[in-house]
């Protein structure tokens, strides 16, 4: 499978986790990101998002470590079952420039700590 991402992904810093609140049609999940880039986030859940389909738009609240949370919009691009968990990739489709810069700075800090994902 060919890599489609244009931006490097990083595992969040242990001391500064990334909390992602995902709100869709009929569901709300408060999760911790497995990975993040300026293009989106990856999250694990212990179940499927009921009522959520691939390419569904979702509202997000993103909290990068100690930073103030901010709103964004995303689209669920893929979902894969991995054992008892499900992994979902959410692409940012609406992310203000100021928030994009916050994500970029956070990702750069993670990369400096050797937390790049393949």
Per-residue pLDDT reduced to its tens digit, 41-54: 999 887 766 656 78
- pLDDT, residue 38, reads 97
Query: Is the C-alpha dihedral spanning 86, 45, 21, 112 positive or negative?
Result: negative
Q: In the 8-state DSSP scheme, what is residue 48?
A: -
Q: In the 8-state DSSP scheme, what is residue 44?
A: E
**Tokens linked to 115:** 């937390």
Q: Which residues of the chain have pLDDT under 70?
A: 1-5, 48-52
Chain Cα centroid distance, residue 115:
15
Q: Taking the domains of the chain in order of start, what are their residue ranges?
A: 18-111
Give me the CATH code for the 18-111 domain, please.
Answer: 2.40.10.220
- pLDDT, residue 31, reads 93
CA distance 11 to 54: 23
Other CB atoms within 10 Å distance of the CB of residue 11:
18
């Amino acid at each position: 499978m060919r890599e489609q991402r244009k931006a490097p992904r990083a595992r969040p810093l242990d001391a500064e986790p990334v909390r992602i609140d995902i709100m869709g049609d009929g569901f709300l999940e408060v999760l911790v990101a497995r990975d993040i880039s300026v293009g989106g986030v990856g999250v694990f859940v212990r179940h499927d998002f009921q009522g959520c389909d691939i390419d569904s738009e979702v509202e997000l609240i993103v909290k990068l470590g100690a930073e103030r949370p901010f709103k964004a919009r995303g689209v669920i691009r893929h979902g894969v079952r991995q054992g008892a968990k499900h992994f979902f990739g959410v692409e940012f489709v609406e992310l203000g420039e100021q928030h994009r810069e916050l994500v970029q700075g956070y990702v750069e800090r993670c990369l400096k700590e050797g937390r790049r994902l393949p």
